[in-house]
Structure 1
């Protein structure tokens, strides 16, 4: 259930973001002193985790009254912020960066002028729609500029060493926004803007890892011809039947950048920690290590989380924490997490909190002992390896080893099916057990005698 669940849990009664429209909010008084205010020398010596957030992003909301609220709604940010506050993370252990609206010049590095103008014109309308599910109101353009500006500045701060790592608590999300279109709840592509800002700040190579349950078709489009950005996406695909229909394993990049788009397309729903961790171990980390990024971005949609009504998958907060820890070992720890999707308030708040704890140096609650994948998950990983080893020869040994395991796994599945068929062929009275059979047998005989 997503409608009203925050009221049951009272999650929005905590923290400093529960009343975002009050001008005299306690937020201003309670904010910890920013590192920039204590001098750049202190920042360089002891950088910590930075957070990007601005209450004006909560004003982006669907205006039309419907029986159910839009999945991408302001409560998403409020729930995460409240969870951070109750955990003593923010305000407390992280510092906020000042919000800045992205400039037109910066947006044009990613989007066409026509697209930018189509977003800006919505500020003159009470309600408008780019697609049937992608809305805007009079505040949406500013919210999108703030989200993009925060992501850009967080990336610059991390690359320059003024922040250790960062979490962009932003909306509207961005990874479906392409060069020329807004779609899938997304207006501007925050991850793409952050990647280019990181390169301006000195990062030559950038890894974007997208674990949102939907394929980031916009991010792929923007970088599909760019060898300086490695885009890896894990998502439901199901032969193109799952939104947005893109992200097949054979979509690998173009124009000399083949192999720099890596899609890991799950063939079904219900995918959980084991499949994700397995894909990280055998595809994501080997490729990322060889690529050797100077900066890493996580397009962190939490709609593959357990309980999400749109994703219908089974990743736990601990699973997200494990993946974050693996990625944190890259790029010298220069890591930026950018919020994308995720529509169950409990799921996104607990998952985001688990992720930011890793950014703060904590270990996941427990190690996953058995990360052997499902049959379909293993098949997906093999398919990806078979395609990508044409561009990354170092993947060949991994593919060979897994192929042998795949054969053994298939054999095990066949044996299980054979035993199942054998059980079905047994007499029906065997299932009843001896006592049950005798009872039914005797009852039958007594009924015959009475006739």
Structure 2
């Protein structure tokens, strides 16, 4: 059939044959069936049409010319042809007999206007076209397309929805709005009024010279050290996909700009020299295959470990610099050269496990810092992870090590929130059971009160019992208000208060390492609030008035119930909170019963008595807000 003819063609038709592979072959049975239907529509059978037993020329000769048999009505006109229909409107006076002449001859020498001549030429052309195959048409050298001048043809543009991406949170918005519908940021916002990169480089060079001269005691100048290097800005996604990647270099620029605007950095903090971590140090945390896989990306323009974890030719260097800064900051703090520190680094690390890179993370910076602190003399290390996502990589690395206590506060929602790990019953393995403490929130929208309440009743009691030599914070700011991925409600004041509570542990030796956070306004203000606490500011907060949400209190009770087996100090707290939960649950049941008796039919909430329904039941909560935000991602 058609496709078989194309496949049998020579090299000239090879490309066309390959392009026609996606089309279905012509089925002979279907072709015969359609041919029969076409004939039946005209009152003929398929056999009659093939044999030519009924022709238009015969009907014309019989009906219009009677017994006259002119030269034009010869046996050639007995073929069924569309061109014969043009003879219907021709009178007898216009029909001339042509004898002893060629088929193209015309007595009145009007070749263009002669109906008879044109009909004969049309019959010959149609006969030739019927004998042509599809292959013949393809190899036809001359194709008359003068009538179809398509020089000014333009494709019809489909309906395109114009949109712009928010510079603050990267979320898409319709072109007709001026403010981001997710974070409320103005379309023409400017974040980087200060560019501290040049001053940071100058301070780094100055500090390097002082270190070479023998002045390495940072405590003489400041009590807070900061790790930063411009090489980490080179880690970026090469080609944007559907929208800008949330883990982008602007995150570091926004925080550095906010610290510079507050006069903190580089003014009140000391910048430690940057270095790339060695392979031997990385192998204490990751497998050799993982280290080599990350290093191999330096030979590729763009690559992906997972669908959302990218790398370019500079990513391996940036990851080594970030890990090296965290390692040196931990050593500096343990040795007493600095009281505390803040690692302004990227890519983040707490999702990177022993053998895999995922969740935007390449090397686990917190794990590297913990082992570096132990090599510098710390026996026990506490890691507090307040990133909105569970640090599955950090937990995997230390789940069998009881010298490192890992406590994580994160959204979990019964495993439906990324990465799905961090359930309340994940407590560690073997001899290290109880040294992994997970506080998994059951919903979004968790705010300051829930976090601080969890610190008071879970984090601090266990941490004080553990008595670490240094505390490392995996400080992801994606639980902050306005973050497009976290969808929680922690404020800069809340982060400042949590940092202040942790300064009472390990004699104030505290290292804060940047993890996630994708709203530039939120991470810059939250990081600035944290650094101010590291510098000695005391955030005011009335601790006695902290009241958690109902869902938050339920989560904390579940954690206490599981951890009682490993930390008996929690028993008194658990009994007190359990009685409070009983009162809350009882009040809720009584209130529901009261409403059930007072409120009328359910259709009141759609009718004129809607205000009565809302008076007793309250206004229904919008449960689709979080879904809408997730779809915009």
One fold, TM greater than 0.5?
yes
**1:220 aligned to 363, 375, 395, which one?**
395
Does residue 167 (structure 1) correspond to residue 347 (structure 2)? The answer is no
Pair 1:11-2:186 in alignment: no
Deviation at 1:7, TM superposition (A): 7.4
The residue aligned with 1:381 is: 556
**Which residue of the partner structure matches residue 337 of structure 1?**
512
Aligned residues: CA RMSD = 2.1
Aligned partner (choices 525, 529, 548) of residue 350 of structure 1: 525
CA contact (8 A) 1:300 1:341 kept: yes
Q: Secondary structure at the match of 2:373?
A: helix
In the alignment, the residues of structure 2 paired with residue 306 and residue 183 of structure 1 have an alpha-carbon distance, to the nearest angstrom, of: 24
Instruction: Please state whether the residue corresponding to 1:13 is helix, strand or coil.
Output: coil
Map of 1:284 onto structure 2: 459
SS in 2 for 1:363: coil
**TM-score, normalised relative to structure 2:** 0.65
- CA change 1:64–1:431 in 2 (3 A) is closer
1:392 maps onto 2:572 in alignment: no
Distance 1:84 1:136 in 2: 28
Q: TM-score, normalised by structure 1?
A: 0.90
- Is residue 2:324 matched to residue 1:157? no
Instruction: Quote the Cα distance in structure 1 between the aligned partners of 2:374 and 2:230.
Output: 28
Q: Which residue of 2 aligns with 1:206?
A: 381
SS of alignment partner, residue 266 of structure 2:
helix
Q: Structure 2 vs 1, CA of residues 370 and 8 (structure 1 numbering), >3 Å: closer, same or farther?
A: farther
The correspondence of residues 210-289 of structure 1 with structure 2, limited to 5 A, is 210-289=385-464
Larger-Rg structure: 2
Distance 2:595 2:499 in 1: 40
* Deviates most, 382-391 or 45-54: 45-54
**Relative to structure 1, is the Cα distance of residues 26 and 354 closer, same or farther in structure 2, using a 3 angstrom cutoff?**
closer
| CA apart distance, 1:421 | 2.9
Moved more, 347-356 or 360-369: 360-369
Quote the residue 1:443 is aligned against. Answer: none
Q: Which structure 1 residue ranges, 5 or more long, are not aligned? A: 18-24, 434-451
Q: Could you tell me which of 120, 132, 141 is aligned with 2:307?
A: 132
Structure 2, unaligned stretches of length 5 or more? 1-165, 172-184, 613-633
Question: Displacement, 1:13?
Answer: 2.4
Offset of 1:264 from its aligned partner?
0.4
2:592 to 417, 420, 429: 417
Higher RCO by CA contacts (8 Å cutoff, separation 6 or greater) = 1
Offset, 1:372: 1.2
What is the DSSP-based 3-state SS (H/G/I as helix, E as strand, rest coil) of the residue aligned with 1:299?
strand
Mapped partners of 1:348, 1:27: distance in 2: 20
Which deviates more, 7-16 or 217-226?
7-16
Distance 1:425 1:296, change over 3 A: same
Which of the residues 25, 28, 31 maps onto 2:201? Answer: 28
Deviation, 1:368, is 5.6
How far apart are the structure 2 equivalents of 1:15 and 1:48?
Answer: 24
Structure 1 residue 386 displacement after superposition: 0.7
